Amino acid sequence: MKLVKVYVTLKDSVLDAQGEAIKSAINTMGYDKISDVHMGKYFELKFANDYQELENDVDKICDDLLANPNIETYRYEITEAE
């Protein structure tokens, strides 16, 4: 099995309103040493082992489904899993 871990985050130029809200909530909880919060999405995709075109296809899946290329970027890592 191949386990692909995909991280989707907002582009730096896009206001991360959720992150700001979470930062303010953390401040309200009494933690004042936090300087920045960003929120994103995390996906784990499992594929069959004998997958030749894996990287190509993961790129396409991210571009077309998991991330909105207008406002988000993604990165991923491919690992082995049982």
Cβ 50 to its own copies shortest distance, Å: 8
Of 50 and 70, CB closest to its own copies: 50
Among 11, 17, 24, 44, the residue binding its own copies under the rule CB under 8 A is 44
Cα 60 to chain centroid, rounded: 15
Cα–Cα distances in angstroms (integers) from residue 15 to residues 1, 21, 32, 35, 73, in the given order:
37, 11, 21, 15, 14
Footprint of its own copies (CB under 8 A): 1, 7-9, 22, 25-26, 29, 31, 33-48, 51, 57, 60-61, 64-66
